[in-house]
Amino acid sequence: MNLYLLRHASAGKRLLNSQLDLKRPLDKEGKAHCLLLGGVLNTLKVQVDCVVSSPLKRALQTASLVGTEIGYEQQILIRPALLPAGSVKEFLALVEEFSSLENVLFVGHNPSLTQNLRALLCSSAQIDPIRLRKGAIAKLDMSRRSGRLQWLFDPKLVRSIQSSVTVSSRPKTSRK
């Protein structure tokens, strides 16, 4: 099983009212990043069998935009285990629920997503080997007892990759 863990893209500043914060959408930068990330995943020929998201609006928007870009046409599944306060135990049960699939994309939040990634990679919860910024995605190979990190793309790396593979539509002309 290949597991893709994606932290939702930029959604601006956290709102003080927790009820309003639940409905906070992606900002312009976050939407643009989702399109870039989808382009990079297309370049890598990433296809997923299932997309599972936190119920919060910013995660659902991230899942929808990235899913559309990579050609995912099925319904996005919603699971509360991917909420910011979700427990590692709930997340591991979620991984088990989808273990029969080959490629699964989980879209969630910090701090739970980083804790879940840590739990999949190493047995000691004291180790903090990875930081997931907004819009970061990690690919884990779950074919063994513990996960193996295949790659991790930070938002800056996604922009860099996309700009290096994007061909300019302007014709190259010399100015002599």
The H or E element spanning position 175 is none
- Asked whether 11 and 25 are in contact (CB, 8 A), the reply is yes
Is 163 a residue whose pLDDT tops 80? Answer: no
pLDDT digit string, tens, across residues 53-93: 999 999 999 999 999 999 999 999 999 999 999 999 999 99
Among 102, 109, 57, 134, smallest CA distance to 117 is for 109
Fold adopted by 2-165: Rossmann fold (3.40.50)
Tokens 């959408």 label which residue?
25
Contact between residue 88 and residue 115 where contact means Cβ atoms under 8 Å apart:
yes
- pLDDT higher than threshold 60 for residue 125: no
What's the pTM value of the predicted model, to 2 decimals? 0.84
pLDDT tens track for 18-61:
777 778 899 999 999 999 999 999 989 999 999 999 999 999 99
Q: Is 45 left (phi over 0), alpha (psi -120 to 50) or beta?
A: left
pLDDT in tens, 126-148: 555 677 888 999 999 988 767 88
- Say whether pLDDT at 170 is over 70: no
148, two tokens: 């193996």
Q: Give the per-residue SS3 of 45-105.
A: CCCCCEEEECCCHHHHHHHHHHHHHCCCCCCCEECHHHCCCCCHHHHHHHHHHCCCCCEEE
Q: Which residue has the higher pLDDT, 116 or 17?
A: 116
Average confidence score pLDDT of the chain: 86
pLDDT for 174 equals 46
Q: Does residue 99 have a pLDDT over 50?
A: yes
The pLDDT value given to residue 22: 76
pLDDT of amino acid 165: 64
